[in-house]
Structure 1
Amino acid sequence: MVYSVSTLTSSLRLTNYLIDNRARLDNAVIENASKKHADMGLALGAQTGTTTSFRTEFSQLESQLDTNKQLVTRLEVMNTALDNVHTGSSDFRSDLLALQSNSDSLKTASNLAYTELSKLTNALNTNVSGVYVFGGLNTGTAPVTDFKNGPEAQIEAVFNNYFSPTNIGDAATASIPVSGDANGKDWETFLQSTGFNDLFDAGWTPLWSSATDGKMTTTIEAGVTTDGSGSANEKAFGQLAKGLAIVAVFGKLDLSVEAEKFITNQAVNSLNEGVDGTIAVEAQNGAIKTNVERTNTSIIAKQDVLNMRIIDLENIDENRAAIELSLAQTQLEATYAITAKIQNLNIMKYL
């Protein structure tokens, strides 16, 4: 029996070999470069859905981690601001007590109090990328009004109304007694009055603050939320403002020695309460930050596990891939060589 093969049949067969070997080489090149299967669907089959699910979960965790890192940044900025507030107020309190033995001490302290009020305002108006961290839910607006742009004038108005006809700046303020006036026109009654104290309590908003009592909440993991902002309406801040404002506004008046001592003591009492309250807010804020950081550690651990499972499914054996590439190159070169020889066949050479 004699077998015969035409040059056309050989050429077509070699063309198919060329296409197959070229595709094999292309896949080998991709796998060597990416270290992953060139065709995930073909390589993984039914497990393709599993790796897709793992990648989706990994991306969700990455997004959550980014959100949590932004929250940690805000909490760190809040802690810095709170630390500056309670440290500055503590130092001012110490300076105020140290000045008590000097004449006109309250007038000297008055200038310092204005500076501290400005620092308090700046701290509570702290923002991170346009987010005012002490705005409560109203994080798009600076929450606290500058002392000289409203609160100071209101304090003076309450004083003038209470002690009328004596007004701020009158020399007659030196004759206001500390206590015991039959009509209640004394410092003790005034500083304990509802009209004065409401400026730092019930009237804190909107006189001082445009913040909301409610705070922004942030989801830090599935089913878990936490405070994502602070509020300038914390009682501690009102007490700090009260202690500083008493010294700032009334310290510049003509006062008796007894009145200076009484006002100083009242300011110190308010500052004590405000400093302790601010430290408590800072501690609470620090606890939230610790909880978020602990959650972030857990998220990173979950990502590591997912990444290992994705690698096990998607990554290739690099040694095998290198051998496949070498074989594909060799076979393709051999196919090209054979094709060239067949194309050179000519029956006229054998006649």
Structure 2
Amino acid sequence: MRINNISTHVMYNYNRQTLMQQKKDFLEANYELVNGRVPDIGLALGGKIGRFLNIENQQSLLNELKITNGLIAERMAAGQIAIKSLVYAPRSNESEPEGALVRFNKILLGASSGKATSRSLTKEAQLALDVFVSALNTNIDGEFVFGGANTNEPPLTYYKAGSDEGASKIVRDEFRGYFGFSPDDSAAASITKEQMQEFIDGPFSDLFEDPSWGINFSKADDIPQRNSISPDGVVVDTSVSANKDAFRQAMKSLILVAEFSEAGLSEDAVAAVEEGARNSSSASIGSAINKISIVSSHLGSLENRIQSATEQIESQLTLLQDLRMRFIGIDQNEAAARLEEIKLMIAVSNGLTVQISRLSLVNYLSVR
């Protein structure tokens, strides 16, 4: 019987290679336990990799839609808050402040019964104008909610009545062109109620129609921004335009009162101004409030559609994730048990390595 020579060097190297493999197995098992999936997808799936990548592509598309819908929902919510600051009418048991247009309308209605002076009315009109412009210039991350398709710049500019600057100069120039003198001129006291009504219904109203509105007041686009909100390709309006008649009418009413209620006009002419803002079919602040409330309802409807689409996307993502994990998922309990087994084997291998390294023929030589 012949016994092959086996050196401690060979045994040591063999055990070291085994230990290296065990450490590699340990890392793989630990990865599976922590991440719940196989570490090398290509190796695990082989020819099924194409189907797996298709699932991941669908997930990527749906996640992009979900993110977009989230941003759209933020814009819609910001738009609702802006509109609420204008037309909210709290109930008697609510403590929230009423909207700026609602407040102004109450004061305007009070002016007809002598409860408000022209000065206070002018002041309230300017305050309401400030809130109005600020609300319609609402933006989320630099995208302006009421800009229509033009979401890159604020739709309205600050309006200071009586300043003869910007849009105020346009309005006062129209008055000067029609009457031949400025609203502050002493001659303005001779303007009759009928003459003022003709100015309001004619040149003044024309300022708030196209093309003047787009040139002098608004940078918004008539066409709203549109986005796809579902994988089925459903496209909806995702912005509102400050060019809507509701907003034009509100601004027209506020400017009318802010510019001319406290000017040097006759009492009859001032009465025409207040009546125009109160009762006119084209400049009534009450009518504007109702129309803006309809815009708010439309926004609410869009919010519901976006929420429904997002919920559908989340359901699809859940299904796709389940399908994805069928390809690459592992039993984490099994991975944990395998990890413990590998730890034990590594400990045994380390022990053997130490013992082999200590083997020497010197230990078996007798000393004489």
Q: How does 1:283-294 map to 2 (within 5 A)?
A: 283-294=297-308
Q: How does 1:110-189 map to 2 (within 5 A)?
A: 110-148=122-160, 149-164=165-180, 166-179=181-194, 186-189=195-198
| 1:115 partner amino acid | L
RMSD: 2.7
Contact 1:145–1:207 (8 Å) recurs in 2: no
Tell me the SS of whatever aligns to 2:227: strand
Q: How does 1:66-81 map to 2 (within 5 A)?
A: 66-81=67-82
Shift in CA distance, 188/38, structure 1 to aligned 2, threshold 3 Å: closer
Contact 1:64–1:220 (8 Å) recurs in 2: yes
What displacement does 1:107 show?
A: 3.5
Shift in CA distance, 38/103, structure 1 to aligned 2, threshold 3 Å: closer
Q: How does 1:209-224 map to 2 (within 5 A)?
A: 209-222=218-231, 223-224=233-234
Shift in CA distance, 239/342, structure 1 to aligned 2, threshold 3 Å: closer
Which residue number corresponds to residue 209 of structure 2?
Answer: 201
Contact 2:147–2:242 (8 Å) recurs in 1: yes
What displacement does 1:109 show?
A: 0.9
Which residue number corresponds to residue 35 of structure 1?
Answer: 36
Shift in CA distance, 49/187, structure 1 to aligned 2, threshold 3 Å: same
Which residue number corresponds to residue 182 of structure 1?
Answer: none
Asked if 1:262 is matched to 2:272, the reply is: yes
Which residue number corresponds to residue 93 of structure 2?
Answer: none
Contact 1:106–1:264 (8 Å) recurs in 2: no
Q: Name structure 2 gaps, 5 residues minimum.
A: 88-98
In the alignment of these two chains, the number of paired residues is 343
CA distance in 2, matches of 1:260, 1:22: 91
Which residue number corresponds to residue 91 of structure 2?
Answer: none
Residues 225-234 or 38-47, more deviating: 38-47
The one of 283, 299, 309 equivalent to 1:295 is 309
Contact 2:107–2:116 (8 Å) recurs in 1: no
C-alpha deviations, 1:17-76, integer Å up to 9, x for none?
Answer: 334333333323333333322333333333444333333322332222112111111111
| 2:192 partner amino acid | P
CA distance in 2, matches of 1:152, 1:341: 96
Residues 219-228 or 110-119, more deviating: 219-228
TM-score by length of 1: 0.86
Shift in CA distance, 37/100, structure 1 to aligned 2, threshold 3 Å: same
CA distance in 2, matches of 1:12, 1:102: 106
Which residue number corresponds to residue 183 of structure 1?
Answer: none
What displacement does 1:341 show?
A: 4.9
Which residue number corresponds to residue 96 of structure 1?
Answer: 108
The one of 328, 337, 341 equivalent to 1:314 is 328
Which residue number corresponds to residue 50 of structure 1?
Answer: 51
Paired-residue identity, %: 26
Which residue number corresponds to residue 296 of structure 2?
Answer: 282
What displacement does 1:155 show?
A: 1.8
Contact 1:107–1:253 (8 Å) recurs in 2: no
What displacement does 1:221 show?
A: 2.2
CA distance in 1, matches of 2:243, 2:221: 7
